[in-house]
Chain A
Amino acid sequence: DGGITQSPKYLFRKEGQNVTLSCEQNLNHDAMYWYRQDPGQGLRLIYYSQIVNDFQKGDIAEGYSVSREKKESFPLTVTSAQKNPTAFYLCASTMRQRNYGYTFGSGTRLTVV
């Protein structure tokens, strides 16, 4: 079955540490997205990529970095510059043409310890 896989499901980060969240899809989707979700708030866009080797900042990109070396993969690194990284992180993908729904992964819950 096609889908989008995020790992790990839970991640704990120490202060000053960089961590990388994995996102892989086998849907042959062109575009991929990273969102952050905090309690009581909507999803906020961190980064997105519409084609391989190209990505753009979203609304809250500071303290995060991404790469898109393969169509299937869009990893997100949460750097030590991100001051409040504790959140639920969601990866999504869709066809590049507009008016397609997103397929989301099951999320990674990141906690700073």
Chain B
Amino acid sequence: SQKIEQNSEALNIQEGKTATLTCNYTNYSPAYLQWYRQDPGRGPVFLLLIRENEKEKRKERLKVTFDTTLKQSLFHITASQPADSATYLCALDKGSGNTGKLIFGQGTTLQVKP
């Protein structure tokens, strides 16, 4: 069966450290993968998109990697701040024939302590 898995346990780190979140998938061949941030009671906010032919994408303190062989994406926040505390969702499309339709993981909650 098709699955997207994110670490269900919350990630607690100290301010200034790098947070690394993992997204694993099985039985998909996504053309691209996206990461979103969600605060409690709010809708997700789009952060980054990485295509299958890209190994790495950066945006300010954020970095995403995409390994289609391992079927895994890593999401890094460098120099983390308490304001980065939120739930982070990965999402992927289901490959050709499914224009724009995303499947979401359950999210990983990040807590950055001052």
Binding site for B on A (CB under 8 A): 6, 31, 33, 35, 40-43, 45, 48, 50, 58, 88, 90, 92, 94-107, 109
Find out whether the CB atom of B8 lies under 8 angstroms from the CB atom of A40: yes
Interface residue B104 (Cβ < 8 Å from any Cβ of A): yes
Give the distance in Å from the alpha carbon of A96 to the alpha carbon of B99 in the complex.
7
Distance of B89 from chain A, by nearest CB (Å): 7
Contact, CB under 8 Å: A99 / B99? no
Of chain B, the residue at the smallest CB distance from A32 is B100
Are A98 and B42 also in contact (CB < 8 A) when A42-B89, A42-B106, A43-B104 are?
no
Given known contacts A31-B100, A99-B49, is B44 in contact with A90 (CB within 8 Å)? Answer: yes
State the main secondary structure of chain B at its contact with A: strand
Contacts of A94 in B (CB 8 A): 100
- Chain A residues with CB under 8 Å of B28's CB are none
Contacts of B93 in A (CB 8 A): 98
Contact flag A102-B102 (CB < 8 Å), given A40-B8, A90-B44: yes
B19-71 contacts to A, CB under 8 A, are 31-32, 34, 36, 41-47, 49, 51
List the 7 shortest-distance A-B pairs measured between CB atoms, nearest first.
Answer: A101-B46, A104-B43, A43-B104, A42-B106, A42-B104, A31-B100, A104-B44
Determine which of A42, A45, A48, A101 lies in contact with B4 in the assembled complex, contact meaning CB atoms within 8 Å: A42
Give the complex CA separation of A105 and B42 in angstroms.
Answer: 8
Tell me how far the C-beta of B48 lies from the nearest C-beta in chain A, rounded to whole angstroms: 8
Chain B residue nearest in CB terms to A105? B43
Given contacts A42-B89, A50-B99, contact A98 B45 (CB under 8 A): no
The answer for the CA separation of A109 and B104 in the assembled complex, in Å, is 19
Q: Does B34 lie within 8 Å of A106, measured CB to CB?
A: no
Query: Which of B100, B102, B106 has the largest count of A CB atoms less than 10 A from its CB?
Result: B100
